[in-house]
């Protein structure tokens, strides 16, 4: 217990100890009394300080809050012990974004997983793919190469054939004829004027063939083309992850 005087001073027989420094108080340890500086009050210290207890004594120290507000728009962030005034995080930790610069900005870490690749816009799940590097796929080149040709179609010519009488279509022939007065010849009669004579039909329209031969083969050839400039313009970007 402590005694801070008010009214009449205690008798020396009750507290036979030196009062010590001005402002001291008597403190009991359960057996004796000791004159010492009080735990409170303490020196107030810097303006704005607060008293903090460690369970035994009080300490005058700067308040954990308030802290300097810092730049406009800053927020107070706790690390579990102290408060810090800092810019508010615009993106969640782990957010990935692209930047048109070599180094990641402050608060971001450069992701080097992907290199020399193109960007593809999708409406579904974001993923990666492909096997050819960007600069390889768009390298300038001149087409060239060779081709192999295999000839398997029928080629050749038909041989000539002379048709026999039975093979030609059945037909006859007509010709003009003039005889004397009162003639009668080969079943034709007349009085000396021109007559048309028709022969008997001949030919049977039988079938016939044409000899034919063909050959097959193969060959090779080469081709070349004009140069193709595939050096498409591009802008280098980096991927960075929010810390």
Task: Give the model confidence (pLDDT) of 55-72 as tens digits.
Answer: 777 888 877 676 788 888
Task: Give the model confidence (pLDDT) of 148-179 as tens digits.
Answer: 877 666 656 676 778 888 888 888 888 776 65
Residues whose CB falls within 8 Å of the CB of residue 41, separated by 6 or more in sequence, listed in order: none
pLDDT at 157: 65
DSSP-based three-state secondary structure for 76: strand
Residue pair 230/138 in contact by the 8 Å Cβ criterion: yes
* Local confidence band at 115 (pLDDT 50, 70, 90 cut-offs): very high
Task: Give the model confidence (pLDDT) of 172-201 as tens digits.
Answer: 888 776 655 545 555 455 555 667 777 788
pLDDT higher than 50, residue 83: yes
Task: Give the model confidence (pLDDT) of 24-38 as tens digits.
Answer: 888 888 888 888 877
Under DSSP, the state recorded for 14 is T
pLDDT at 194: 66
Residue 98: C-alpha distances to residues 43, 57, 92, 135, 218 (Å): 55, 54, 15, 20, 56
Residues whose CB falls within 8 Å of the CB of residue 27, separated by 6 or more in sequence, listed in order: 1, 2, 33, 34, 36
pLDDT higher than 50, residue 2: no
Residue pair 92/235 in contact by the 8 Å Cβ criterion: no
Q: Give, in degrees to the nearest 5, the angle at Cα 128 between 123 and 131.
A: 130
C-alpha 231/C-alpha 243 separation (Å) is 36
* Local confidence band at 101 (pLDDT 50, 70, 90 cut-offs): very high
pLDDT higher than 50, residue 1: no
Indicate the average pLDDT of the chain: 78
DSSP-based three-state secondary structure for 95: coil
Report pTM.
0.38
Residue pair 158/210 in contact by the 8 Å Cβ criterion: yes
C-alpha 120/C-alpha 100 separation (Å) is 17
């Amino acid at each position: 217990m402590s005694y801070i005087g008010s009214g009449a001073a205690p008798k020396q027989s009750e507290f036979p100890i030196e009062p010590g420094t001005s402002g001291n108080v008597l403190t009991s340890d359960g057996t004796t009394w000791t004159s010492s500086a009080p735990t409170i009050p303490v020196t107030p210290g810097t303006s704005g300080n607060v008293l903090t207890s460690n369970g035994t004594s009080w300490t005058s120290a700067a308040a954990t809050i308030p802290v300097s507000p810092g730049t406009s728009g800053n927020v107070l962030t706790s690390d579990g012990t102290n408060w810090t005034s800092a810019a508010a995080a615009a993106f969640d930790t782990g957010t990935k974004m692209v930047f048109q610069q070599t180094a990641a900005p402050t608060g971001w870490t450069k992701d080097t997983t992907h290199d020399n690749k193109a960007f593809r816009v999708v409406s579904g799940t974001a993923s990666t793919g492909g096997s050819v590097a960007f600069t390889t796929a768009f390298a300038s080149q001149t087409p060239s190469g060779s081709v192999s040709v295999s000839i398997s179609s029928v080629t050749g010519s038909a041989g000539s054939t002379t048709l026999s009488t039975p093979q030609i279509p059945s037909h006859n022939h007509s010709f003009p004829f003039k005889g004397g007065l009162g003639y009668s010849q080969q079943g034709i009669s007349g009085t000396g004027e021109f007559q048309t004579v028709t022969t008997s039909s001949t030919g049977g329209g039988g079938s016939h063939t044409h000899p034919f031969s063909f050959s097959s083969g193969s060959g090779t050839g080469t081709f070349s083309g004009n140069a193709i400039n595939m050096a498409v313009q591009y802008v280098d970007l980096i991927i960075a992850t929010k810390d």
